A = this chain, B = another copy of it.
């Protein structure tokens, strides 16, 4: 269902169609404005893919495209995803996440910049937030960097020491 490739049985070469079409769709969606499936269908036809609206609808599903004010768009990779679940308290202790993800801490005035392994910033920041330390005014996490804002330079230093100890 997913790839259409040789994965399971059946189809192995006609692939030249569906996957190609998906790529074409990604390209079209990324570079041109497409406000509905008929429009996308027409553009696909111009590129040699003769399909119906039903197929286009299915493709859009498989590609996880979004539809917004200005037409279809690619999945943002970032924020949109994890709106759902989340659950509750199951967070690992800071020292655990730090031990696995933490790399180093740098200080700039009242701010700390915590470098983590790739993809580790969010979980680390979450864990830190949960500690409710008074040295932490707030955190901001990207992919591998966490910015920690402290009330002042002094508390930043203190926190830095603590974090470094945890990183080991």
Residues of chain A touching chain B, judged by Cβ–Cβ distance below 8 Å, are: 30-31, 33, 61, 64-71, 73-86, 90, 106, 108-111, 113, 115, 118-119, 122, 125, 137-143, 145, 147, 149-152
Contacts and interface: CB of A to CB of B under 8 A. Distances in A.
A58 B139 CA distance: 36
Contacts of A150: 108
B85 A113 contact: no
Contacts of A147: 138, 140, 147, 149
Q: Which of A66, A139, A150 has the most CB of B within 10 A?
A: A66
B137 A140 contact: no
A79 B68 CA distance: 12
